[in-house]
Structure 1
C-alpha cells in the first residue's frame, strides 16, 4: 500500500467516527418477477454500490458465492487505474465487486435482491452513506443478455414497489472490463472487523443479511 493510500484510509476511519450519518436502513426488496435463466456452471456478476469493502464483505457471506473480488469497473477499457487514481473521482470508474457464483445455489435475481436490500440504496445519486463521488455510484454491469434482461426488469420493479421515497437512480452500464484492487483491499471486512469504518457502515449490512436472508447466510466467507 502506498503512503497516499494510507492517508486516504486514515481519513475514512476518522470520517467513520465523526460522521453524524447513520448506516442505510435495510429495506427488504421484492422477489424478482424476472430472473436470469440459470446455467450449469459458475457465473460472474459485477456490482457497484459504494465502498467495495462492504459490497465484497456481504456477498462473500452469501451461500452459493464462490468468490467476491474488490476492484473497479465502468471506465475506459484501455485505462489502468488503482485506488488512489479512482478516489479522485474523475476517471469514470466506480468501486465495484466481481462476484463468482453458482446459479444452481443462488440466482442472479437473488443477488440483485440482496444487493438492494442490505448493500446499496438505489435512490442516492453518486454516493452511498458517507462516501460521495461518481466512484461511489450504484451501478449494475450485465455480462450477458440474461443478466441485462433481469437487471432492467428489476430496476423497473423497484421503482414501482413504493418501498423507497425517492426515484431509483442506480445505473445500468455497459461492461468495459474489471480491474482488481490491490491486495490490501481484498477481504477487508473479514481481515479488519474492528476497523472504525467497517464497524459503523458495513457490519450493520452483514447483520441485515443474516437477519433478512437467513437461509442464504453463511458464517464463513468465501475465499
Structure 2
C-alpha cells in the first residue's frame, strides 16, 4: 500500500489473556480491512530531521537468490519491476494445485487482487493445531476451511484461487521484515515460490538481507 515509514502499536485490551499479548487482529482473515482503513486515512510524505521529504527507495536485485526445503522453494531473479508468481499443491483436498502470478505488484492491484484473500486451513488439521495452542481465535468467520471429505465448509470463495492469492499476501507481509533504511520490503525482482510458508519466506528474507549487506 506504499506505506514505507510508520510506527505500529498493538495494545491488548484483554489484560487477563497473556496468550493475546502480541496478536494482530485477524479480522476476516484477509488484509482487506487494513487496506480500506489506509485508503480512508490517506498517506503523507515522510519527513527527515530537516523537514525534507524522505526519498523513496527500493532494493534492486542484481543476481538470482534462492532458498529451499524438500520440494518447497523461494527464488528471486533480477527484473525491472516487482512480479510475484506463487504455486501451491494440496492434493488431499479440493484446493488441489494452483498458480497465480501478478505484476507489477502495486497498491491498486494488491488492494483488488490480493488483499481480500482470506487465510485458509484444512479441517482435518485444525484439531491438531488447536491442541498445540495455535489458532485459538480461528473460526469460520475469519478463515476459509476445506475438508477432505466435504470440500469447502464455508463458501463462496472470493476468488477461485483464493488460497494461492492468500499465500502471496503472506509473502508480502513476511518480506516486509526485510525493509530497512527507507527501503520497501519487497525487492524489485521476480519472486517465484512453490509450496512456501512463513518459515521459508522469512528464511528467504534473511538471505536477502545477507546478500544486500555484501
TM-score for the superposition, normalised by structure 1: 0.23
- The structure showing larger relative contact order (alpha-carbon pairs under 8 Å, at least 6 residues apart) is 1
TM-score for the superposition, normalised by structure 2: 0.24
Query: Which of the two has higher C-alpha Rg?
Result: 2
Structure with greater helix share of residues: 1
